[in-house]
Amino acid sequence: MEIRSISAPPADSGRPNRLVSALREMLLRGDFKPGQRLTELGVAAILKASRTPVREALEKLAQQALLKPLRSGGFAVAEFTVDEIWDAIELRGVLEGTAARLAAERLANREELSVLGDYCDRMDALALDSPDLHESATYGDLNRGFHAEFCRLAKNVVLARSLEAVLALPFAAPGALLFDQAEPALLGGLAREHHRAILEAIENREGTRAESLAREHARISRTKLVRVLENRELLSMLPGACLIQLLPAPADSSPR
């Protein structure tokens, strides 16, 4: 199926990263249907950009698994099963757990933790159940910053690259399921406890404990996703929900 004419966000043809962001946003909000064929020429017309940066953007989104290359040319919009999402979240937990352990083992001095501690303090200052969307967005930014910082403290370039690839997958990144009021105060409070505990474990150079905490922390995303999949209203608010292949729930719908 060829792409149809739709309203697209403005894109700067001289900046491939902006094209990637614009096209990614369109994919996650459902401007294209799963399986729909996207061509270099068609996307260039929609984004009002030249073909070379569009080709680079399409290839980048294919690397992020949002698009699938077609033998006949062009790309198809990807679709994700719930099992694939579970696997992505689980892999994120494994990698972040390793990062937390390495951060504890490679910590040179406590001053290195100042940024991580600042993220915790700023998240703690926000109301858990605030209806303020600005506060929700601020929490999301701080949460992503916290995860990026303790991964940086692992001081492992190969691990950082692996994490970057996993976090590009929809629904796998920290905060991917944090939107509006979809995160209940109970889970938000647990997440904050985990953040503090991870910081403490790294500070005390308790590598095994830091790894265990980080892996357990990733499971909060699984709990959130179960809740979202059971609530159509929340599901409709989830960026990228249009890419999830929903099947009839089995008798036991708990994540494996």
User: How distant, in Å, are the alpha carbons of 70, 79, 83, 230 from that of 246?
Assistant: 23, 10, 11, 11
Is the per-residue pLDDT at 5 higher than 50? no
Tokens of 152: 């940086």
81-245: what CATH class?
mainly alpha
What are the φ and ψ backbone dihedral angles of 182, each rounded to 5 degrees?
Answer: -75, -20
So what's the pLDDT on residue 134? 57
Which has the higher per-residue pLDDT, 190 or 98?
98
Residue 246 banded pLDDT, cuts 50, 70, 90: confident
Tokens of 218: 């990733």
Nearest to 98 by CA among 145, 166, 144: 166
Average pLDDT value for residue range 129-158: 82
DSSP letters for the chain = -PPPP-------TT-HHHHHHHHHHHHHHTSS-TT-EE-HHHHHHHHT--HHHHHHHHHHHHHTTSEEE-TTSSEEE--EEHHHHHHHHHHHHHHHHHHHHHHHHH---GGGGHHHHHHHHHHHTS-TT---HHHHHHHHHHHHHHHHHHHHTT--HHHHHHHHHHHTSTTTSTTTT--TT-S-HHHHHHHHHHHHHHHHHHHTT-HHHHHHHHHHHHHHHHHHHHHHHT-HHHHHHSTTGGGEE-----S--S--
pTM of the predicted protein model: 0.76
Average pLDDT value for residue range 36-45: 94
Neighbours of 97 (CB within 10 A): 21
Length of the chain: 256
Tokens of 225: 């996703």
Are the CB atoms for 151 and 99 separated by under 8 Å? yes
- What is the domain partition of the chain in residue ranges? 16-78, 81-245
Is the per-residue pLDDT at 183 higher than 80? no
Average pLDDT value for residue range 185-203: 84
16-78: what CATH class?
mainly alpha
CB neighbours of 235 closer than 8 A, spacing ≥ 6? 228, 229, 241
So what's the pLDDT on residue 180? 43
Q: Which amino acid is at 23?
A: L
Phi-psi region of 33 (alpha: psi -120 to 50; beta: other; left: phi over 0): beta
